[in-house]
Structures are given as structure tokens and as C-alpha cells.
Structure 1
């Protein structure tokens, strides 16, 4: 998936994220984590950020790289709650602008910086960061190993890498399973490949990380995936209405709508999972 396709997706789906996912209020573009006492999406987002901070061994003054930062939600959380000096990077200029505005509103602009940059090929110096996080963003990389290699270069000795990631749950897929997972599912958000847990762990080992683990959190994202399925039905009807009045949506919007249906199918059929990956340089 090329860079321009990813930028187009996030630009065209910006309003959908505002309406369905509270983007302006919560500043998050992820599934969150739902526990027994979680009452709403805002709490699910808080849970995920807290889990990431815990695995990062967050300490005040740490330097953070938020790889694929979206509109800055996690960077801002880390700056506000843990005193991180947070640097967020994204391919999408509009997201970088939104992130800067959000940081000003949340009064942490002095602790944050947002730039348009490819997280697989950054301009940062070697060993610059104490912590690198990626929140459902590394799945966009054509080569996840290439990102992991860049993250290793950027981390200080003892630095921590924490990823909240969608994972392919099966080593091999049948043609039908491939269509469910990618053609009708993740391709809707411009993702055409996911690594398995084993691929991540093996690559972390090969690159040189001295500690690496992945905790399966799949059951804790299912409520959000169900929420997407529920949004599919009114979105599909709206798409039909637009077509009837001669103002149809384009392929990006239609694929995004279809994805809302098939992500639930895929996770229930055991085709993808959700993991929290932690590694130490």
C-alpha cells in the first residue's frame, strides 16, 4: 500500500472518525481496551494508553517517539500524565496539524512536537529515544521488520518499544480467509498485510532486542469491533441513498464501510488477533 493511499484514506475518513469514534473529543484512532468495568469508549481509550504507559515503564522526562501518531492522543496522554517529551510522526499533514492544535488545547504544546515523517525512514539521530510506541499504526507498514529495525536504531540502550497491534492469527490463510481478512476487511483502511505474533517475535530477536514478548488482548477489543459492525448498517443505507441521488461515495469510502462488517467476521473466525508487544533494546 503506497503512502498516498494511506494519506487519502485518513483524509477521506476524517469525518467518519469524528462521527463514529469521537475523534475531536477523544483524539484517538484505535480500538481501546474493554475490561469488565469499562462503561464507554472513552474509558477503553484510557485503558489502552494506561497499559502502554505501564509497559513503557514511563518515567518523567523520558523522550518518546509516537510512530504513526494520528491526531496526537497518545503523545498528549503521555505528556500530561507522565511528563514525557513526546515527538509524534505521521504521514498525514492534516493529522500533524490537528495534533499540534490538540496539544495547544490540552496545554502540553511545550512537551510535544508533531511532524510529517515516515516511521520506517526517519531523520532522527541514533539512540535518541527512551520509548517508542505504535498504536495500531505499524500495520500500515509494507515491511514491519523495516520499522522494527528503524526503532532499534532510534532507541537508547535499555529503551523500550511498545506496540498495540492487529496481528494475523493464522500462519497460512485459505483464499476465502484471505478475502475475509484483507479483501473485504483490512484493505478498507489501506492495510494489505499483518504479521503474526511469531513473525514479530522472531524479527525482534533477529534485530537484536534482548527482551521481547506479546500479550494477547483480543478479547478486550471485541466490544469495539462489534461497535464497528453496528455502524456498518446505517452507513450502508447512507451509501445507498447517496447513490440514488447521484452523489455516490468513492471506492475508499465504500471499502471503509465494508470493512466495518468484515472485521468482526474475521476476529470471530480466528483470522486476526490483537496484541500488546513489548521489547527492550
Structure 2
């Protein structure tokens, strides 16, 4: 049996600088995400949220933003920290749909450039800014934000408790944290299960996964109260299935490009994760959940 523990990097391709690996993944896989997943409107590198009102893949990606916003109860004038903002999709969506200001941070300078250009094109650059920063050690003063928003970003923290500590520090009293992410649903795995899980960690440069119970404990230890968790795996499964079938249909072309050395290792690992992730969710090895907590 293999045991999943907090604070360890379980990737088989791990280097001494896991943050550099994260940047490499997103920078090298940008066009894969751009052509197979996101568009210039949603700018979303995350699973979608499907319910009875969802009619398309693009709708589902924007619906995930709505799911977080509904959970955290945004107020006019709120200052939001988008922790792990990616290409700026959530930050821009928040500014377009609410009377708020948003600061997005990412490890990737390239993503900052993309996000900044998109905010300018969408006419929200006066209320949205992007910076290169580590969300576990930010440059912001204590009690700077009303909301900390983490959409499929907290999983990249090697030590998730460092993220919850920092989120608590930068939130104002009464501030809220909202986070949607994948979580391990067990701590012990058979060798075959472990292979599937590690393939996903490798492909997306994720060092480890917390369990819902473990992440709740980190939030409480950091000082958060009114911690609430919703399992929304069922709402994300159509996205997981779409990703799987997209990868399956493009398998021959992918293998040819690898043989021709037209794909990087990061791109190839990303492809294998697209194939594996659906079964990881389907077999109950991991789930997808939404946390909200208050300072």
C-alpha cells in the first residue's frame, strides 16, 4: 500500500524546484489548453460546473466562477485576491460581474502578461491588476483583502497549511476564503491506484493532494471559522469525461507528434493526465469540492 502524506512531493518527475515545474507546465501547455479547453472569453484552465442551466462546455467553465461567487457572498466594494489566477479568467469575470477590485497573482510572468492584456481588452484594467507572487508568501500587508479566491490553485501548494495561514493573514476581519479544488478521498492506495494518481500529479505538476478532512483542519488551525465544504464531484464529471474523450480521440496524433519530437515532456505528461483523471474521479480515488471559511 502507498500512503499519501501532506508536505511531500510525490511526482515521479519531481525536480528540486517544484514551483519552476509549475511555471514550465503552464507555459509549455498553453496552446494545448487554448485549443482544447478554454477560449478568449472564459480564459479558464479548470473544470466546469454543470447543472440544469448548463448548455455547453464554455457555459460550464463560467458556471464554476458563479458557483464560487454564490458560495462566498460577494459584496460591492470588496477587494479580492485571486490566488493562483492563471490567465486571469476569474479575476476579469469578477470585475465584469461585480462592483469589486481584484488582484490576481501567479508564479508565471507569462500568465501575468496574458492576463494583463486580456483585462485591458475587456476594459477592466482599472479594477484588475496582476502580479507575479507566491500565494504562500505574498507581498501584501496584513488585512488587505475581503476575499481570497482559489480556483484549482491551492492543490499546487506543497504545504497547504502555508496557504491557509497566508490567506488568514491577508484577509480583513470578517473576510472570506473560497476554494474549489480536487481532493484525495483516501490516504492509502494500492499500487495500481497509486500509479493512476501519480500520473495525474505528474501531468499537472501537482506535488500532492489534501483530503477534505485534512484541508478543513488546516483552515481551522489557521484561525478560520464557519468552515463549510460541499462535494461537487458530480457537477464536474461531465468536464472530466469531456477531457478524457478529447484525449482519446486525439491519441494517434499525440503519439505521432511525440515520435517526431514536436511535443515536450510537459505536454506529453499533460496528455496522459487527461486520459487518467476521469477514471481517478470515477473510481472514487479523488473528488472535487468547494470550501468556504470566514476570518
TM-score > 0.5 by shorter chain? yes
Q: Is 1:235–1:257's contact at 8 Å kept on the other side of the alignment?
A: no
Q: In structure 1, what is the equivalent of residue 10 of structure 2?
A: none
Q: In structure 2, what is the equivalent of residue 274 of structure 1?
A: 288
Report the Cα offset of residue 248 of structure 1: 4.4
Q: In structure 2, what is the equivalent of residue 113 of structure 1?
A: 129
Match of 1:22 among 38, 55, 62: 38
Q: Deviation digits for residues 10-37 of structure 1, max 9, x if unmatched?
A: 0111001110112423211110200123
**What is the CA–CA distance in structure 2 between the aligned matches of 1:105 and 1:249, rounded to whole Å?**
31
* Structural mapping, 1:125-164, within 5 Å: 125-164=141-180
**What is the CA–CA distance in structure 1 between the aligned matches of 2:129 and 2:107, rounded to whole Å?**
14
* Structural mapping, 1:1-281, within 5 Å: 2-182=18-198, 184-244=199-259, 246-281=260-295
Structure with larger RCO (C-alpha < 8 A, sep 6+): 2
Unaligned runs of 5+ in 1: none
Q: Is 2:103–2:130's contact at 8 Å kept on the other side of the alignment?
A: yes
Higher share of residues assigned helix: 1
TM, length-normalised to structure 1:
0.96
Q: Is 2:258–2:268's contact at 8 Å kept on the other side of the alignment?
A: no
**What is the CA–CA distance in structure 1 between the aligned matches of 2:223 and 2:177, rounded to whole Å?**
13
Q: Is 1:186–1:263's contact at 8 Å kept on the other side of the alignment?
A: no
Report the Cα offset of residue 191 of structure 1: 0.9
Q: Deviation digits for residues 41-76 of structure 1, max 9, x if unmatched?
A: 221122111121122211111000000001111111
Q: Is 1:34–1:223's contact at 8 Å kept on the other side of the alignment?
A: yes
CA shift in 2, pair 1:96/1:67, >3 Å: same
Q: Is 2:42–2:62's contact at 8 Å kept on the other side of the alignment?
A: no
**What is the CA–CA distance in structure 2 between the aligned matches of 1:147 and 1:29, rounded to whole Å?**
20
**What is the CA–CA distance in structure 1 between the aligned matches of 2:188 and 2:175, rounded to whole Å?**
33
Secondary structure at 1:277's aligned position in 2? strand
Q: Deviation digits for residues 202-260 of structure 1, max 9, x if unmatched?
A: 1111111121011000000001101111121243212222244x334232111111101
**What is the CA–CA distance in structure 2 between the aligned matches of 1:61 and 1:103, rounded to whole Å?**
19
Secondary structure at 1:26's aligned position in 2? coil
Q: Is 1:23–1:29's contact at 8 Å kept on the other side of the alignment?
A: no
TM, length-normalised to structure 2:
0.91
Q: Structure 1 runs of 4+ off > 6 angstroms?
A: none
**What is the CA–CA distance in structure 1 between the aligned matches of 2:40 and 2:132, rounded to whole Å?**
20
Q: Deviation digits for residues 133-152 of structure 1, max 9, x if unmatched?
A: 00001111101111000000
Q: Deviation digits for residues 173-199 of structure 1, max 9, x if unmatched?
A: 2222121112x2232010131100000
**What is the CA–CA distance in structure 2 between the aligned matches of 1:21 and 1:130, rounded to whole Å?**
31
Q: Is 2:157–2:207's contact at 8 Å kept on the other side of the alignment?
A: no
Instruction: Please provide the CA RMSD for this pair.
Output: 1.3
Q: Is 2:38–2:45's contact at 8 Å kept on the other side of the alignment?
A: no
